[in-house]
Amino acid sequence: MKKVLVADDKAPGRELVRMVLEKSGYEVFEASDGEQALIEARSVHPDLIILDIHMPGLDGFGVIERLRKEPGFAATPIIALTASAMMGDRERAMAAGFTGYITKPIRLGALRAEVERLLA
């Protein structure tokens, strides 16, 4: 069973992703901020990480910057999940090392398709 880590400071946001992905047959782990995301990632070694960009303390950019420096996470697919829809945000995320980019509110079909594509 493939493992997915979801980091989002809002509990409903985490639960939504968990529900959708569990139904699709993934094992889902949660983190409620950037620091916790780092700890969880290092202990479970997920196959895919979904990172909210806006989190208090260490944000999504801070998390990916640290993870990408570690050999174990150099190639792990990491999806940015953000409620910001300004132009240029996607480019900035891709430049920071994200493999995918999904804006909130998510459409369930799009989330499933993106996860499936990256774990294929």
Partner 1 sequence: MLEQRFREILEAAPDAILQVDGEGRIIVLNRAAEDMFGYTREELLGQPVEVLIPEELRRRHDAHRMHYSQHPMTRAMGSGLTLEGVRKDGSRFPVEISLSPSHSPEGFRVTAIIRDTTERRLSEERLRRVQEEYTQRLAETNAELEMTNRELERANRLKTEFLASMSHELRTPLHTIIGFSELLAEELEGPLNEKQRRFVQHIHKDSLHLLELINDILDISKIEAGRLELRREAFDFAALVAESLASVRALAEAKSQVVEAELDVPTAVDADRLRIKQVLVNLLSNAIKFTPEGGRIRVEANVQDSSVAVSVSDNGIGIPAEEQEFIFDKFHQVGATTKGIREGTGLGLAITKRLVEEHGGTIRVESELQKGSTFVFTLPIAAG
Binding residues among 15-34 for partner 1 as defined by CB under 8 A: 16, 19-20, 23
- Structural contact between residues 79 and 114, judged by C-beta atoms closer than 8 angstroms: yes
Q: How far is the CB of 76 from partner 1 (least distance, A)?
A: 24
Residue 12 or 71: which CB sits closer to partner 1?
12
Q: Which residues from 42-61 bind partner 1, rule CB under 8 A?
A: 54
- What's the token pair of residue 13? 């946001």
> Look-up: residue for tokens 């047959």?
25
Instruction: By CB under 8 A, name the one of 1, 12, 71, 75 that touches partner 1.
Output: 12
Instruction: Compute the least distance from the CB of residue 75 to partner 1, in Å.
Output: 28
Min dist CB 77 to partner 1, Å, is: 21
User: Which positions lie near partner 1, rule CB under 8 A?
Assistant: 10, 12-13, 16, 19-20, 23, 54, 83-88, 103-108
